[in-house]
Amino acid sequence: MRKLILIGAGLNKDLITLKGLNKLKEADIILYDRLVDNSLLDVVNCEKVFVGKTPYKPSCSQCEINSLIEKALLEDKTVVRLKGGDASIYSRSLEEIEVARRCDAIIEIIPGVTTVSQFVAKLETALTARGISSGVIFITGHKKDGELNEAYNWKAIVDLNMSIVVYMGVKNFMKILNLLLENGLSEKTPVAIGEKLDFDDEKIIVSDVENLFNFNFEIKFPAIMLIGEVVKSSNFFTNSFTIKGEGCTKCKN
Our answer to whether residue 53 is catalytic in this structure is yes
Q: Is the pLDDT of residue 252 over 70?
A: no
Give the pLDDT confidence score for residue 249 in this predicted structure. 39
Choice among 50-59, 181-190, 224-233 with the minimum mean pLDDT = 50-59
Instruction: Tell me the mean pLDDT in the region 62-80.
Output: 98
Quick check: 28 pLDDT over 50?
A: yes
Q: Which of 46-50, 94-98, 141-145 has the lowest mean pLDDT?
A: 141-145
**Domains in the chain, please, with CATH?**
3-110 (3.40.1010.10), 115-244 (3.30.950.10)
Q: Confidence class of residue 251 from pLDDT cuts 50, 70 and 90? A: very low
pTM: 0.92
Please pick, among 13, 48, 53, 171, the residue that the annotation labels catalytic.
53
Which pLDDT tens digit goes with each residue over 205-247? 999 999 999 887 889 999 999 999 999 999 888 777 888 875 3
Beta bridge partners of 245: 203, 248
Torsion of CA 34, 118, 127, 162, to 10 degrees: -20
Distance CA 228, CA 12 (A): 26
Query: 49 with 72: CB under 8 angstroms?
Result: no
Selecting among 3, 33, 203, 244, the annotated active-site residue is 33
Q: Would the pLDDT of 248 be above 70?
A: no
Q: How many CA atoms lie within 13 A of 79 on its CB side?
A: 28
Helix/strand/coil for 158:
helix
CA 107 to chain centroid, in Å, comes to 23
Provide the pLDDT for residue 56: 65
Q: What is the pLDDT of residue 234?
A: 93
pLDDT of residue 253: 37
| Local confidence band at 197 (pLDDT 50, 70, 90 cut-offs) | very high
DSSP 86-154: -TTSSS-HHHHHHHHHHTT-EEEEE----HHHHHHHHHT--S-BTTTBS-EEEEES--TTSS--TTS-H
Q: If you ran DSSP here, which 8-state letter would residue 129 be given?
A: B
State residue 223's pLDDT score.
96
Q: Which of 114-123, 136-145, 150-159, 173-182 has the lowest mean pLDDT?
A: 136-145
**Which is more confident, 144 or 35?**
35
Tell me whether residue 33 is one of the annotated catalytic residues.
Answer: yes
- The rounded distance, in Å, linking the Cα atoms of 125 and 158 is 21
Do 164 and 137 form a contact (C-beta atoms < 8 A)? yes
Neighbours of 179 (CB within 10 A): 18
User: Once rounded to an integer, what is the mean pLDDT over residues 54-62?
Assistant: 80
